[in-house]
Structure 1
């Protein structure tokens, strides 16, 4: 590969926004290298090149740095046809609005998962249930959010369903039980090959370790489940 166009993704192992980018790169069969960092101990070289000090960032060649998951996803989509984003300006703008929605709903889901306060936990759950209705409506009479073909919008929601599937056995209730279309959609999305290989093999272990170590409401409500441990599943992308 021409070094000018070499792709290096800098990520954190359980960051949902990094998972979005990894999923797209796997779906598009992009060749890339990956560097993992710890967000609580960011290396100096990373802080020098990341404008906001956040992941993911994509280093192209040796000088160009892209930040923000949606920007990186669109770039990958543009350079690897067929594109998953529409060409029509209005449709593209609507999709970008849905990217922002997915970021917000995923941010609130992680806040819910790692909440240590019962009141905040309940409040976040109510917020999520309210906003699930929007996705349920988008899926009306459609296989995917935008129709019968997979789009970049669908891949932007991947971390939502990966996290919900991981917590099926411990959530105080089935959060998707009243959203039949959304539940079926989530099962279909998480079965895609790019979703299975677009996350680190120890994702579940690291998430559960974080839930336990922070003494979250989820952990306190069901410590037996979390103390049984979860074995990470294999992932061809990250095997040594």
Structure 2
């Protein structure tokens, strides 16, 4: 049976695994669920009750995007992690840092009060500036080749560009290395094809439905 990735359309962690699957040109099906009304069959599969889940076969399921991507990288070419153990550990560390930034980004997007919005924005851009400084001089984050770091960061950067289009974000605009990397990643078929064509509208509606200060002060 083909791999089945269980998803929520706006989830950046699902998108990380979609990008990895598309980059490796692996056949898979995508099953969307409503996270507000999680079906019983999904809760039986996922101990965390979160997406993504990758169904390998009728009896085997993986959960957590990084675990899924590591499994895919260890079993399907091309390999996207470095061979050296220390470099591989460093890549994992930056992926974990990217997950922290996604949390700050979400908090900024949905914050309804000024204090929470300001705090989340500051944390988000402070971390993005650190990420910008850490990026090497190659085309991608860690060199001249696409890696699992890029698969993990692409959803974050895609959302930053959408948010920047909704309201100017000067601190994002000032991050030269990350903006160049973002432009490169957005042109890749595996990144462009990892979301639906109406994704920007879906994201805007998601923010609007929560009465976010982000749109009210745009």
User: TM-score surpassing 0.5?
Assistant: yes
The alpha carbon displacement at 1:80 in A equals 1.9
> Are 1:184 and 2:180 an aligned pair?
yes
User: How big is the shift at 1:172?
Assistant: 4.4
2:144 to 140, 143, 148: 148
| Contact 1:18–1:69 under 8 Å retained in 2 | yes
- CA deviations on 1:154-191 (whole Å, 9 max, x unpaired) are 11001111111112232343332321111111111111
Counterpart selection for 1:111 from 84, 107, 110? 107
TM-score computed with the length of structure 1 as normaliser: 0.87
**CA distance change for structure 1 residues 140 and 83 in 2, over 3 Å: closer, same or farther?**
closer
The whole-number CA distance in structure 2 between the counterparts of 1:160 and 1:175 is: 15
Distance 2:78 2:168 in 1: 42
Q: Does 1:18 align with 2:14?
A: yes
Q: CA RMSD in A?
A: 1.3
State which of 29, 43, 50 in structure 2 corresponds to 1:47: 43
| Cα deviation 1:120-176 (Å, max 9, x = unaligned) | 111111111211122212224222221111111111001111111112232343332
**Distance in structure 2 (CA, Å) of the matches to 1:162 and 1:45:** 31
Structure-2 residue corresponding to 1:125: 121
Q: Is the 8 A contact 2:101 2:124 kept in 1?
A: yes
Question: How far apart, CA to CA, are the structure 2 residues paired with 1:119 and 1:54?
Answer: 29
Q: Tell me which stretches of 4 or more aligned residues in structure 1 moved more than 6 Å.
A: none
SS in 2 for 1:47: helix
**Alignment partner, residue 210 of structure 2:** 214
User: What's the counterpart of residue 56 of structure 1?
Assistant: 52
Q: Which residue of 1 aligns with 2:198?
A: 202
Partners of 2:160 and 2:184 in 1: how far apart?
Answer: 13
Preserved CA contact (<8 Å) 1:23 1:199: no
The offset of 1:34, in angstroms, is 1.2
Name the residue aligned to 2:130.
134
Question: What do the CA deviations read for 1:60-84 (whole angstroms, capped 9, x no partner)?
Answer: 0111010000111111122221201
Distance 1:147 1:95, change over 3 A: same
Gaps of 5+ in 2: none
Q: 1:69 corresponds to which residue?
A: 65
1:78 and 2:77 correspond: no
Q: TM-score, structure 2 length as denominator? A: 0.95
